[in-house]
Amino acid sequence: MSVVLAVIGSGQLGSRHLQALKLLDRPSSVFVLDPNPQALRAASELFAQQSGESLVQSIQFVSDTAELPDAIDVAVVATGANARRKVLQHLLAHSRVRYLILEKFLFQEHADYVAVAARMREAATKSWVNCPRRMWPIYRKLKEVVPGGPLDYRVTGSAWGLGCNAIHFLDHAAFLSGSGEFTLQSSELDPEVVASRRDGYCEFSGRIRGESKDGTRVEIACDRAGTMPVVVTAWNQDMQLLVNETACTAVVAQRENGWQWESLTFAVPFQSQLTHVAVQQLLDRGNCELTPYELSASLHVSLLDVFLEHYRKHVDSHATCCPIT
Strands (E) located in 165-205: 182-189, 194-195, 202-203
Asked if residue 158 has pLDDT above 90, the reply is yes
pLDDT, averaged across the chain: 97
Gap between the terminal Cα atoms of the chain: 37
Domain positions in the chain: 3-130+273-289, 136-268+304-311
Domain 136-268+304-311 classification at class level: alpha beta
Q: What is the pLDDT of residues 40-84, one digit of tens each?
A: 999 999 999 988 899 999 999 999 999 999 999 999 999 999 999
Contact between 181 and 222 under an 8 Å Cβ cutoff? The reply is no
Fold match flag (3-130+273-289 vs 136-268+304-311): no
Q: What angle, 0 to 180 degrees and rounded to 10, lies between the N-to-C axes of helices 275-285 and 12-21?
A: 60
Does the domain at 3-130+273-289 match CATH 3.40.50.1580? Answer given as: no
> What mean pLDDT comes out for the span 24-53?
95
Q: What is the pLDDT of residues 238-262, one digit of tens each?
A: 999 999 999 999 999 999 999 999 9
Q: Is 197 helix (H, G, I), strand (E, B) or coil?
A: coil
